[in-house]
Structure 1
Amino acid sequence: MSSPARDYVAINLANWNSRVPIHAQGYELPRFREDPRHLSAVVAFDRARLGDVRGLDVVHLQCHIGTDTLSLARLGARMTGLDFSEPALVVARRLAADCRAEIDYVCSSVYDAVAALGAGRFDVVYTGVGALCWLDDIQRWAATVAALLKPGGRLFVREGHPMLWSLSEPRPDGLLVVEYPYFNVEGGTLFHEKQTYVPHEGELASPDSISFNHGLGEIISALLAANMRLTDFTEHDSVPWNPLGDAMVEDARGEWRLREKPERLAASYTLQAVKG
């Protein structure tokens, strides 16, 4: 009998592999090819807090099809991208080649990143929105991040807020309802979603996924235990996709926030920490 850990990885890998051809169409890849200055909306949002990355060795964990990875390379970083989906990396490598960007893409799980890439190699570990929820063990993630970094190296995370992940679709009267766990639960939470988060026709070939919510205290405590020093924590009232349907409205930057009283919800956060 396979272990629960292997089950969730296999289920999620099938899910993400099935998203790749849809995301390759929905992520507006031609814009990257046509305009060498174009950045993903995610990295454009992060840029002010991220600071100058020119000449730095940066690894993007859970990089998917590489639009954020390419954007960071365009800001002058020496980029490595890591993801567990080889089909996603095929798209990422093709995009980088088309854009004449030198990016090293490696297929590996996050937990095996040190073995795949080497310890103490990077000035920055970058993790984008919608990544941590796919990991069952945040302590192991934090230890991996610390091992990848050089002494004094920095972690940069912008992530969906665990409060957002706990919400269901809004009720007809507009109230937000907490339906899913805020704290991590053993075995995660199973979802069956026939559509991904970009508009498309048809249904995902593998609609099942298992995600793991991690409370802010759990994440911060894991980083502190891994000898990481917290240097910035900022909560935002927006996210770069629409998670709550008609309850949200898009702004000029492509960020989505609550249509009514957006101050009710911390939708995402930026966390930075330094090794040692």
Structure 2
Amino acid sequence: MKVLLLLPFLAAVQSAVVPAVDTEAHFHSSFPSAVEPQGKNISLNGVLVYETLPQQKLDPTKAVLLLTDVFGLPSPDNLVRSIFADQWAAAGFQTYAPDYLNGDAIPVGGNVTAWIVNHGEAQTTPPLLAVIKALKDRGVKQIAATGYCFGGLYVTRLVQNNTITVGTVAHPSLLNVPTDFELIKAQSRIPIEINNAELDTGFTPAFALQTDAVLGDGQYSPGYLRKQFDAVAHGFAVRANGSDPVQVAAKQGAFDTSLSWIKTHLK
């Protein structure tokens, strides 16, 4: 099985790690009980996966892989997360959100620093790659991966290793900047898009500008786009306070930007 490696730093590049944002800093939205997920939980190569399919005719050769943040599928946001995955299905893609956290998503209020000790790449990568293999065995030829916070790290790995067709990330964490993007520039052929937040304490606007310095202005020929959403903070692309029009617009804007990017690069 192919392994996604945490590749060594490039010499002569000063790199900094994007910090994980405390769980208390995440806003947790709620949905009316009448709103029900459209998909179902299945097992792919022994990994729990939320599968949701478009109601219209789907292209079985294309799929979206949705990588959640640390709250994962079993979290109190499970309903929200399922509906979020359903958005991608409604846009026309068979969509799969794997439990790549091995049934151990962090609870609201949990200690990220302690939790992450048991959720390094050695634990998280195998179930992720098992699901990708299962999708390919099903006949999926092109995989678009979209990752949020913790999931953004793993979409970046998939881009670095040319494992997917196209990638999008939102408010990613735990990346090394600019090293991880130097690696993309050096060895990848996969287009990547980033949605970042003005008020994020993790992937700050300063990190975003460092990323632009590596991939922007046409330096990365496979394709690079970054869009900043102002007046919102970490997690904005996943959840929003329904009474705040700025948050609602930013969440929808991030989805629309990612969707457009994916549609452009899936042929």
- Larger Cα-atom Rg: 1
Query: Could you say whether these structures have the same fold, taking a TM-score greater than 0.5 normalized by the shorter chain as the test?
Result: no
Q: Which has the higher contact order (CA 8 A, sep 6+)?
A: 2
Tell me the TM-score normalized by structure 1. 0.38
Higher strand share: 1
